[in-house]
Structure 1
Amino acid sequence: MTDGTTPLSAALHDAERVLEDEHDRLITVVGQCADAVAAEWDGDSVTDRDSVVPPFARALDGSGALSRLPRALADAVTAAGRPMPAPPVAAPPYVAVTGEGVVLRATVGDERLVIRLRTFDVVPGDPTRYVRRDGVSVELEAH
């Protein structure tokens, strides 16, 4: 844990550990939602963002994962030794469903913790393609 004076980047390991240890089932459900979305595609990719983001958001909401993501964000921030200035909600800026997966954001003081639960790869080209990743990649950054 940090004391609030240590840079947030120094505590990313603690934040990641709490996600893996206490929210592993939630991360599994996020992956299952992404699997369900990809199962509806004609093939292994799509080129239309609307075939990814809205159905993924609906699947997350229907599974209950969307409403549980703010708690995971708050727990990660707390594990990093920082208090959340306000309770996060399942909407931007705290939780955003994107073409790559879910982004969780918390501003703590003058720093920001960004957690990406990457479930899809965005392959640039003409046209851009969205491809289901193998599993869920949990990526943390401090800015």
Structure 2
Amino acid sequence: MTDGTTPLTTALDEVERVLREEHDRLLTVVGQCADAVVAEWDGDSVADRDRVVPPFARALDGSGALSRLPRALADAVTATGRPMPAPPVAAPPYVVVTGEGVVLRATVGDERLVILLRTFDVTSDESERYVRTGDVSIEVEVR
């Protein structure tokens, strides 16, 4: 394809559809885990990454969401019409809990499918702070 698209980039809408329709309960639980983290803050934001990532990872693990994320990633890759070279696990490089949410990654051919389940934003007004985004947004890209 000469316009810069690849078969993988043309399937990004399908990836998001599969996640929203087939894993909607999982997305709800991810959002609930983020809400539980925020409930422990003194205000509506924090500057310390350690008040976001470790508690979020623990909440995801305790809820069972962490162990279900690899299946969501596998289904997302299947939606592209391409196979995964290996079954994903709930650990890097496939599933990574970050200060912005959960990143799901899979190598598909020569490209990498990267999905961010965004639950937090990082602001940098005066200093870097983490804030809850509200809903879980899905950001899909090919690298």
Does residue 48 in structure 1 map to residue 72 in structure 2? no
Q: In the TM superposition, what whole-angstrom CA distance separates every residue of 1:28-80 from its partner, at most 9, and x where no partner exists?
A: 00000000000100000000000000000000000000000000000000011
Deviation at 1:13, TM superposition (A): 1.2
Does residue 122 in structure 1 map to residue 122 in structure 2? yes
TM-score by length of 2: 0.94
Does residue 72 in structure 1 map to residue 48 in structure 2? no
- Spell out the pairing of 1:63-142 with structure 2 (5 A cutoff): 63-142=63-142
Equivalent in the alignment of 1:25? 25
Q: Which whole-Å CA distance do the structure 2 matches of 1:44 and 1:15 have between them?
A: 32
Q: Which whole-Å CA distance do the structure 2 matches of 1:61 and 1:134 have between them?
A: 21
Gaps of 5+ in 2: 1-5
Does residue 58 in structure 1 map to residue 54 in structure 2? no
State the 4+ residue runs in structure 1 displaced beyond 4 angstroms. none
- The one-letter amino acid of 1:77's match is V
Q: Which whole-Å CA distance do the structure 2 matches of 1:15 and 1:127 have between them?
A: 35
Query: Percent of counterpart pairs with the same letter?
Result: 80
Q: Which whole-Å CA distance do the structure 2 matches of 1:132 and 1:13 have between them?
A: 25
Q: Which whole-Å CA distance do the structure 2 matches of 1:112 and 1:39 have between them?
A: 34
Say what the alpha-carbon RMSD is for the aligned residues: 0.9
* Aligned-partner SS, 1:58: helix
Gaps of 5+ in 1: 1-5
